[in-house]
């Protein structure tokens, strides 16, 4: 009998605000320890939180993007536990009434197709600081720069049935968040961290006991950790044991997880309403305004690129991965409107390929979309061949030179004058009487020989289509 | 002059009859003479006080009489719960021993801007948890009317200092009666403004949904002056209200007319257990109000008997979280040679907190813990709503409510320290006001066996003008506020 895997995900995503959730400190990454702190985020006596309105707006925007309900009145609560990097001894979070509830994200996986994954809630909370134990002899150091950084916690329904679905959900969510510009979502900087709740059951039975895999910050580790945990749980049960409810930590070096704490050891967080912050009230008008300013979402762009520009699903996929990509593509089409498909092919294959080789992202591309469009124009008007265009693009990427300047300077302009081409053909025929006779005698394979000779004589600049056409006519004539 | 009111001193300063330095010196001398006996001040830097007074005199000289600020040159003592950049802020707890705040509380900034001279830090119950100032880590504070007795609490140091004229006025905080009860027990005036009227920023939190700062003074007008200086929306305290009704504080005192005023007298506040002489004093005061043209209306606040229980769930619950930050990691007392993190936490907090504070942290943590939350915290919040409704209904019938402030006069030091429940009942008449977020004022209305009795006024939210007007009318018709503790009323050798 088979096993069914049940996965629910909690994502902690840093909201990209200039200042922290409840004080005016900077959120810039990478500063010297404890330089971005103040009495509020240090938990000094008598200090009070003031909610960052930008963080609220960005959380609402995220909620709208996943088709969720926005609670016009939500509440803040205190989550109590002692840890040295938690200055107040409690975290301000939204426990009872979150800002966002009841959304969804649609995913597609190869193995299981299209599926809708429910998002239970998105609530706002503050991050804790960072404790550092390693390399310090018997002492710990604490950096509170991160203390009070605003987070969204995005909690899914236990709707995923495989690690592939979990990753598809996460990638989709990650992409939406980046599109909205509500978070840098840089996983290496800890701006997008994931906890996975995993259990297994026989199909149709109630949920099994779940374990929580904590704090993973790469898609690869998340998949590995889930797969490992599924195997581990099935083994435990098939060996006659029972899964115990616990938190587990993924060790990406040993490729295994270990128990952090069991349910019995878990904190009682003693949640209660945060008396320093009145309920968070937002008006429907504010929500509507945020909605009106919402950028096009990846799936909407994808559909539009297919319909409006006739792109393949694959190209549309590639070009909607980030807002930078889709924006660049649209600028390119605007500058070269005649052939959106050519734009897509050349951008996806030639431009992005070269950028990848150069280890650069689109933001640091040496040429603009308009400059790239000029290159495509020169192909469209037969000034250069596609083959020459690739060489021109190499030069453009290397030096930033414009397509026209480079073609002019290097004399790469294609010969499309029929008189000139006819003259070249005549000269080749005159120089090769034997081959001409043989061709005319039926050895049509020699056609390629004549094409080669003409292209060689033109130093590759003769328009190949015209050479073909004129050759066919002139070789026949007698 | 020592027993002068703030406004009397202000007049003399404005007329040039005295200077801020002379005034400051007068009170510094009195503190030097009497504080050892009373222990009202736990920190005093005389040079710093005189420096502020000199600066104030210079300001007055530069700006003239009309340029003088609202509290120009007036000495105000500060409860040790307010963070001040100058001197230590210790909340009378060993866990904050020698703690220096790098910031001023919002109300301290406002007092400085108003030209006040801040006079030291006054004694209090540790973290404001107490009704007698006996839980202070810096020793018990005494009542100037009888130094074997407590001055009430938790703002006992401020009350004692004003009552003995070691300062003409002081700031206190009131979470369940901590301004009004000590004011009552020391024969002075104390007001707790509407919750949200005064910023809590920089005031060490006890119970955030209940705490409110307020004045402790010799007269009602002084209370108005001081409140006017400290109140107002603070964008950095989200619980202050931006569009709160603005009042003309001094005008409210001048409009002292009891004619036609409907005074509600809640039957639940005149019950068994209250001192007979206290009862007689308050009833006499009510008769006097009637004689002044007020109409006494019997009302009922049916959930009054639940207030103390609800308070002793809600306040400790909030306190248990508010006091978590005293973990010895960033500031405050840390034990010697901790073995590990847990040892550091437990030993530092065990050594730093006194027994009453520990009792409340444990009570609060228990009330919030999983499995008990619904039965305690949630139930207490429901009671809170009922108490608010009681008041709302009462204020449909009456303009203001009058009650005794405390069921008893000042009790003996040590009398109730072994019995927390009896101690908690000292606040039985004041607690409901905090739970409902209303303004309340206590003023002297009699003496029972030589000890002051307080009359409490309660008004609808944001109607401090009603409190001040009513209390001013009563004050104008009586002279209880002029009674001073004889032992501290020696003929002064100074200019005054
Ligand atoms: Zn800060």
**Model confidence pLDDT, tens digit, residues A447-478:** 889 888 888 888 777 888 888 888 888 888 75
| Min Cα–Cα distance to chain A from B286, Å | 37
Contact (CB, 8 A) for A351 and A372: yes
Close Cβ partners of B396 (under 8 Å, ≥ 6 residues apart): none
Chain A contact for B337 (CB, 8 A cutoff): no
**Token pair for residue B486?**
């004889």
Residues of B in contact with A133 (CB under 8 A): none
Q: What average pLDDT does the segment B90-115 reach?
A: 98
Q: Looking only at Cα atoms, what is the longest distance across chain A?
A: 104
For the purposes of burial, counting CB atoms within 10 Å of the CB of A136, is it exposed (0-12), middle (13-18) or buried (19 or more)?
exposed
A1 pLDDT band (50/70/90 cuts)?
A: low
- What DSSP element (H or E) covers A141? strand A141-143
For residue B346, give both structure tokens: 């437990």
Residue B269 is classified by DSSP as G
Partner residue facing A46 (CB), from B202, B235, B330: B202
pLDDT of residue B495 exceeding 80, the answer is: no
Tell me whether residue B298 is exposed, middle or buried, using C-beta atoms within 10 angstroms of its C-beta: 0 to 12, 13 to 18, 19 or more: exposed
Alpha carbon of B336 to ligand 1 centroid (Å): 30
Q: CA-based Rg of chain A, rounded to a whole angstrom?
A: 31
Whole-angstrom Cα distance, residue A320 to residue A314? 10
Three-state SS at B96 = helix
Q: pTM of the predicted model, to two decimals? A: 0.90
pLDDT at residue B491, rounded to an integer: 58
**Does residue B336 sit within a domain?**
no
Q: Give the pLDDT band of residue B92 (cuts 50, 70, 90).
A: very high
Confirm if B360 and B313 have CB atoms less than 8 A apart: no
A272, closest residue in chain B (CA to CA):
B368
Place of tokens 């679905």: A165
Dihedral of alpha carbons B340, B344, B345, B350, sign: positive
Of the residues B106, B127, B201, the best mutation for testing chain A's interface (the one with the most A CB atoms within 10 Å of its CB) is B201
Å between B135 CA and nearest CA of chain A? 20
Average pLDDT over residues B187-210: 98
Q: Is the peptide bond before A72 cis (omega within 30 degrees of 0)?
A: no
Residue B471 lies in a domain: yes
Cβ under 8 Å to A: B residues 418-457 = none
Higher pLDDT, B313 or A409: B313
CATH number at residue B41: 3.90.1300.10
Phi and psi at B58, nearest 5°, equal -65, -40
- CA dist A303 and A337 (Å) reads 19
Instruction: Quote the tokens at residue B67.
Output: 């340029």
For residue A384, how far is the Cα from the chain centroid? Answer: 35
Q: What is the mean pLDDT of residues A343-372?
A: 89
Q: How confident is the model at residue B420 (pLDDT cuts 50, 70, 90)?
A: confident
Share of chain B above pLDDT 90, in %: 92
pLDDT at B51: 98
Give the C-alpha separation, B222 to B76, whole Å: 11
* CB-based contact A272 B331, cutoff 8 Å: no
- Helix (H), strand (E) at residue B191: strand B189-192
Domain residues for B402? 6-304+384-486
The DSSP letter of residue A202 is -
What are the strands, taking DSSP E only, across B19-168?
41-43, 75-79, 117-122
How would you label A243-259 residue by residue, b for 16+ Cβ within 10 Å and e otherwise? beebbbbbeeeeeebee
Query: B150 in a domain, yes or no?
Result: yes
| Nearest C-alpha neighbor of B161 from the set B219, B218, B85, B204 | B218
Which domains are delineated in chain A? 4-287 (no CATH), 296-410 (no CATH), 418-476 (1.10.10.410)
Mean pLDDT of all residues in B85-94: 97
Chain A, nearest residue to B205 by Cα: A46
What is the pLDDT of chain A when averaged over all its residues? 91
CB contact under 8 A, B99 and A45: yes
Report pLDDT for A171: 95
**B316 located within any domain:** no
> For position A136, what pLDDT does the model report?
67
Of all helices (H) and strands (E), which one includes residue A115?
A: strand A113-126
Per-residue pLDDT reduced to its tens digit, B295-345: 999 999 999 999 999 999 999 999 999 999 999 999 999 999 999 999 999
Residue B236 lies in a domain: yes
Domains contained in chain B, number: 1
Residue B496 has pLDDT above 70, yes or no: no
Are the CB atoms for B77 and B119 separated by under 8 Å? yes
Per-residue tokens: B284? 């006499």
A390 class by beta-carbon count within 10 Å (0-12 exposed, 13-18 middle, 19+ buried) = middle
Q: Is residue B373 part of a domain?
A: no
Residue B178: active-site member: yes
The H-or-E segment that residue B319 falls in is helix B304-322
What is residue B492's predicted lDDT score, i.e. its pLDDT?
46
Of the residues B93, B132, B178, B442, only one is catalytic, namely: B178
Q: For residue B136, indicate whether it is catalytic.
A: no
Average pLDDT over residues A337-361: 90
Q: What is the mean pLDDT of chain B?
A: 95
Residues of chain A whose beta carbon is less than 8 angstroms from a beta carbon of chain B are 39, 42-51, 78, 80, 82, 84, 87-90, 142, 268, 270-272, 275-278
Nearest chain A residue to B329 by CA distance is A84
Q: Return the residue of A nearest to B206 by Cα.
A: A46
Residue A383's Cβ-count burial label (10 Å; 0-12, 13-18, 19+) is buried
- Please check whether residue B209 lies inside any domain of the structure: yes
Q: Which of A275, A279, A280 to mutate to test the interface with B (most CBs of B within 10 A)?
A: A275
Q: What is the mean pLDDT of residues B469-475?
A: 97
SS3 assignment, position B326: coil
Give the model's pLDDT for residue A478: 58
Are B168 and B27 spatial neighbours (Cβ–Cβ below 8 Å)? yes
Strands A150-156 and A4-14, sheet pairing: antiparallel
State the helix-helix crossing angle for A163-180 and A53-65, rounded to 10 degrees.
130
Q: Does the pLDDT at position A439 exceed 50?
A: yes
Cβ within 8 Å, pair A89-B103? no
Task: Note if B79 is an active site residue.
Answer: yes
Q: What is the mean pLDDT of residues B68-83?
A: 97
The DSSP-derived string for A264-333 is GGS-----EE-TTS--EE--HHHHHHHHHTPPPPHHHHHHHHHHHH---HHHHHHHTSSHHHHHHHHHHH
For B129-163, the pLDDT digits (tens) are 999 999 999 999 999 999 999 999 999 999 999 99
Residues of chain A with Cβ-Cβ distance to B237 below 8 Å are: 48
Share of chain B above pLDDT 70, in %: 99
Using one digit for the tens of pLDDT, what is the confidence trace for B345-397? 999 999 999 999 999 999 999 999 988 999 999 999 999 999 999 999 999 99
Of A295-309, A429-443, B59-73, B209-223, which one has max mean pLDDT? B209-223
pLDDT digits (tens, 9 = 90+) for A173-211: 999 999 999 999 999 999 999 999 999 999 989 999 999
The Cα–Cα gap between A160 and A169 comes to 8
Angle between helices A433-440 and A418-431 (to 10 degrees): 100
pLDDT of residue B494: 40
B382 touches chain A (CB under 8 A): no
Please answer whether residues B199 and B82 qualify as being in contact, where contact means their C-beta atoms are separated by less than 8 angstroms.
no
Place of tokens 């299209």: A114
CB B357 within 8 A of CB B126: yes
Interval A209-232 mean pLDDT: 92
State the residue for tokens 């257990």: B273
Check: CB of residue A370 under 8 Å from CB of residue A396: no
């Amino acid at each position: 009998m088979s096993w069914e895997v049940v996965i629910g995900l909690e994502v902690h995503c840093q909201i990209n605000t200039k200042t922290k959730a409840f004080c005016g400190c900077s959120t810039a990454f990478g500063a010297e320890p404890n330089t971005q702190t103040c009495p509020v985020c240090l938990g000094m006596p008598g200090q009070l939180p003031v909610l960052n309105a930008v963080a609220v707006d960005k959380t609402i925007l995220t909620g709208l993007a996943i088709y969720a309900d926005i609670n016009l009145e939500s509440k803040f609560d205190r989550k109590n536990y002692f840890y040295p990097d938690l200055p107040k001894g409690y975290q301000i979070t939204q426990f009872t009434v979150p800002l966002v509830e009841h959304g969804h994200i649609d995913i597609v996986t190869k193995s299981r197709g299209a599926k809708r994954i429910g998002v239970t809630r998105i609530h706002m909370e503050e991050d804790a600081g960072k404790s550092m134990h390693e390399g310090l002899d018997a002492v710990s150091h604490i950096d509170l720069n991160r203390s009070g950084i605003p987070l969204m916690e995005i909690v899914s329904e236990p709707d995923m049935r495989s690690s592939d679905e979990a990753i598809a959900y996460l990638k989709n969510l990650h992409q939406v968040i980046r599109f909205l510009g509500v978070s840098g979502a840089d996983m290496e900087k800890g701006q997008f961290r994931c906890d996975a709740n995993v259990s297994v059951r026989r199909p149709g039975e109630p949920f099994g006991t779940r374990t929580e895999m904590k704090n993973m910050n790469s898609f690869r580790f998340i998949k590995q950790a889930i797969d490992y945990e599924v195997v581990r749980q099935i083994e435990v049960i098939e060996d006659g044991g029972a899964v115990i409810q616990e938190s587990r930590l993924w060790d990406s070096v040993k490729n295994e997880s270990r128990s952090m704490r069991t349910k019995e050891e878990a904190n009682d967080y003693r949640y209660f309403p945060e008396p320093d912050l009145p309920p968070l009230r937002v008006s429907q008008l504010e929500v509507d305004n945020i909605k009106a300013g919402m950028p096009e979402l990846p799936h909407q762009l994808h559909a539009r690129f297919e319909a409006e520009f006739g792109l393949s699903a694959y190209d549309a996929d590639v070009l909607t991965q980030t807002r930078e990509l889709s924006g660049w593509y649209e600028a390119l089409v605007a500058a070269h409107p005649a052939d959106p498909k050519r734009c897509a092919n050349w951008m996806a294959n030639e431009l992005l390929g070269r950028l990848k080789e150069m280890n650069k992202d689109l933001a640091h591309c040496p040429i603009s979309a308009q400059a790239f469009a000029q290159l495509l124009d020169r192909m469209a008007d037969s000034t250069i061949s596609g083959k020459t265009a690739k060489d021109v693009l190499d030069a453009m990427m290397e030096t930033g030179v414009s397509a026209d300047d480079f073609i002019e300077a290097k004399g790469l302009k294609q010969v499309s004058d029929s008189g000139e081409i006819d003259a070249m053909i005549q000269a080749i025929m005159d120089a090769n009487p034997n081959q001409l006779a043989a061709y005319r005698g039926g050895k049509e394979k020699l056609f390629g020989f004549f094409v080669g000779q003409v292209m060689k004589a033109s130093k590759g600049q003769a328009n190949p289509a015209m050479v073909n056409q004129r050759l066919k006519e002139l070789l026949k004539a007698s | 002059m020592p027993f002068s009111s703030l406004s009397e001193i202000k007049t003399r300063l404005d007329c040039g009859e005295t200077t801020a330095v002379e005034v400051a010196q007068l009170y510094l001398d009195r503190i030097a003479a009497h504080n050892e006996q009373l222990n009202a001040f736990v920190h005093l830097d005389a040079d710093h006080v005189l420096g502020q007074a000199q600066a104030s005199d210079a300001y007055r000289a530069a700006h003239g009489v009309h340029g003088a600020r609202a509290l120009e040159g007036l000495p105000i003592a500060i409860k040790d719960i307010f963070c001040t950049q100058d001197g230590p802020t210790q909340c009378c707890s060993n866990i904050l021993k020698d703690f220096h705040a790098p910031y001023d509380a919002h109300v301290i900034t406002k007092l400085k801007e108003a030209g006040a001279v801040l006079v030291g830090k006054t004694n209090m119950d540790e973290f404001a948890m107490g009704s007698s100032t006996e839980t202070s880590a810096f020793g018990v504070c005494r009542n100037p009317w009888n130094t074997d007795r407590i001055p009430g609490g938790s703002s006992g140091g401020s009350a004692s200092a004003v009552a003995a004229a070691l300062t003409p006025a002081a700031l206190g905080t009131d979470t369940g009666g901590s301004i009004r009860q000590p004011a009552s027990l020391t024969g002075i005036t104390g007001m707790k403004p509407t919750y949200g009227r005064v910023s809590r920023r920089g005031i060490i939190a006890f119970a955030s949904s209940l705490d409110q700062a307020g004045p402790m003074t010799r007269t009602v007008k002084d209370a108005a002056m001081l409140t006017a200086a400290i109140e107002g929306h603070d964008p950095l305290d989200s619980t202050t209200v931006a569009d709160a009704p603005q009042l003309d504080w001094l005008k409210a005192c001048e409009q002292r007319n009891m004619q036609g005023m409907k005074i509600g007298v809640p039957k639940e506040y005149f019950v068994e257990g209250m001192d007979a002489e206290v009862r007689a004093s308050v009833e006499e005061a009510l008769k006097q109000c009637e004689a002044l043209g007020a109409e006494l209306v019997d009302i009922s606040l049916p959930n009054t008997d639940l207030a103390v229980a609800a308070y002793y769930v809600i306040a400790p619950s909030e306190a248990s979280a508010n006091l978590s930050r005293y973990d010895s990691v960033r500031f405050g007392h840390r034990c010697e040679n901790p073995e590990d993190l847990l040892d550091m936490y437990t030993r530092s907090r065990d050594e730093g907190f006194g027994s009453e504070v520990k009792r409340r942290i444990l009570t609060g943590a228990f009330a919030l813990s999983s499995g008990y939350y619904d039965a305690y915290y949630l139930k207490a919040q429901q009671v809170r709503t009922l108490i608010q409704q009681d008041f709302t209904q009462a204020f449909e019938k009456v303009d203001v409510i009058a009650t005794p402030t405390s069921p008893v006069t000042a009790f003996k030091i040590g009398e109730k320290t072994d019995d927390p429940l009896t101690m908690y009942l000292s606040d039985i008449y004041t607690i409901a006001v905090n739970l409902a977020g209303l303004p309340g004022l206590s003023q002297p209305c009699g003496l029972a066996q030589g000890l002051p009795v307080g009359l409490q006024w309660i008004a609808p939210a944001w109607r401090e003008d009603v409190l001040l007007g009513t209390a001013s009318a009563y004050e104008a018709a009586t002279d209880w506020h002029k009674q001073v503790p004889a032992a501290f009323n020696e003929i002064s050798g100074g200019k005054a």
